[in-house]
A and B are shown apart, each in its own frame.
Chain A
Amino acid sequence: MTRLFLISAVIIFFGNISTGFAQTQRIALGDKAPEIELSDPNGRPVPLSYLKGKLVLIDFWATWCAPCVKEQTELAGLYKKYKRSEFTKGKGFEIYGVSLDAKKSNWETGIHTLNVQWIQVSDLKFWQSPVAKTYNIQELPFNVLIDENGIILAKNLHGAELGKAIAGYLIRK
């Protein structure tokens, strides 16, 4: 009876570990960021891998998400400051904005109103976007910082923490 209990406990323990691992392994630090193949507002496909060689912030946002909208101003500051900088993890800084908007008009108006200068892609599928599943996004805003080879350096950093992380890789402004 005791042996049966112990075996069950071990199965449950390792079962839970493997489940947790499966959910997070794809966006774990040090892993390669999964490819994203979505289109910009003009319908042109802009794959994430197109940015190889740069330090890239993948910013998951939506115009219906108030904290995300607020954060766009901070991102604009970082983009302006570091766009042409040289880093230990890439040459130049780019933001790859992935919108979970549902309506194209809202997305386009948001980009225009907030004067977003960086790459914007979306499949306009709201929380049903496959990318939300691939990146295991639990809530917005969410972001992932990747290096020149697409390796994940940091996840979900915001405000001063994000600025500090980017500055940490800086060689030359």
Chain B
Amino acid sequence: MYDVNEINDLTMKTKIAIILFLTVSLPGMAFNLFSSQEQKDPWTPQQLLNPAELAKMLNNPKLPQSYVFSVGPQAVIKGSIDIGPARMKGNLDNLRLQLDKLSKNALIVIYCGCCPFDRCPNVRPAIELLKNMQFCNYKLLNLPRNIKADWIDPGYPVND
């Protein structure tokens, strides 16, 4: 036989445990949610351009052409425009000047390739600039490792 008082006591203990759990964990969960939103990349998966696709465009002048901007240490990709590291204000200002000349519908490709995206200090400022300037057809070249592994090694076209 169960003692009614014991059951009531157990129910009360469970309630206290639930209240304690929610009190402790909810602010943490809210903070984590906030942090993950704060660290969210300024590009969408649909805005990532596969290197093979860009290489195809560069190798075939009949395909729609894009404006390719290097926002890293060096413009490696054939025909790309060398802006310099976009983490530096002067270079970002230069990118803004170059973008001012283009239509908001122009196909724009941004790349850096120094290091993996999570460590790259250059792609985020550049993509945020494009977003703020209300361009509607821009892409980030998907170089998850670096320009050597994801562009040079596969043999895609490079500047001399």
Query: A: which residues have CB within 8 A of B?
Result: 62, 64-67, 101-103, 106, 125-128, 132-133, 137-140
Contact = CB atoms under 8 A, between A and B. Distances in A.
Nearest to A124: B74
B12 to A, nearest CB: 51
Specify which of A66, A102, A127, A128 lies most central, judged by the most chain B CB atoms within 10 Å of its CB.
A127
Contacts of A65: 114-115
Contact of A67 (B72, B85, B119): B119
A137 B117 CA distance: 18
5 closest Cβ pairs, A-B complex: A102-B74, A127-B148, A126-B74, A102-B73, A64-B73
Given A66-B119, A126-B147, A138-B148, 15 more contacts: A65-B115, A67-B119, A102-B73, A103-B73, A103-B74, A127-B76, A127-B146, A127-B147, A127-B148, A127-B152, A128-B76, A138-B149, A139-B115, A139-B116, A139-B146
Contact of B152 (A66, A67, A128): A128
19 contacts: A65-B114, A65-B115, A67-B119, A106-B73, A126-B73, A127-B74, A127-B148, A128-B76, A128-B148, A128-B152, A128-B158, A132-B148, A133-B148, A138-B145, A138-B146, A138-B149, A139-B116, A139-B145, A139-B149
Given A62-B73, A64-B72, A102-B74, A127 B113 contact: yes
Contacts of B116: 139
A2 B51 CA distance: 39
Interface of A is mostly: loop
B119 A64 contact: no
Contacts of A126: 73-74, 76, 147
B148 A64 contact: no
B121 interface: yes
Contacts of B152: 127-128
A66 B119 CA distance: 8
Interface in B65-104: 72-74, 76, 85
Nearest to B153: A133
Nearest to A100: B73
B123 to A, nearest CB: 13
B127 to A, nearest CB: 18
A167 to B, nearest CB: 29
